[in-house]
Amino acid sequence: MTHRVEPGDVRSPRDHWHLKQVVYQGDPESFSVATGEWDGKPCLALRWNANDWRPLGNPSSSGHPTWFIVPSEVAFGIASDTLRLLAHSDEPDASERARSLAEWVIGIEPPVAGLDR
């Protein structure tokens, strides 16, 4: 069995990305959502989880697992749907992760979220 990379261990692209928290992690055939910073600005990121046939998950670059940074125009919608997934989750820390994501949404500037408040 090949070692699968967990979403919380993905730190690339290193020059610009800083992982704050994986707020949603589906099963190995699913995806994960994380909050973080891109060049110091809050952002949301996505990736397909690693599994037996895709041990790095996706995306990856030069043999390193990476996160896909969500465009600001759709970040609020993805955050909203992620909150819905967490609300229906049986995971023991789902409410804590949902609270963290909700605080992220409240704290972002309108240009980051693609909103005009």
DSSP the chain: -PPPPPGGG--BSTTTEEEEEEEEE--TTSEEEEEEEETTEEEEEEEEPPBTTBTT-BSEETTEEBPEEPPHHHHHHHHHHHHHHHHT---TTHHHHHHHHHHHHHHS-HHHHT---
pTM of the predicted model as reported, rounded to 2 decimal places: 0.86
Q: Which residue has the higher pLDDT, 10 or 2?
A: 10
pLDDT, one tens digit per residue, over 34-84 is 999 999 999 999 999 988 888 999 998 998 899 999 998 899 999 999 999
What does the domain layout of the chain look like in residue ranges? 7-107
**Predicted pLDDT at 1:** 47
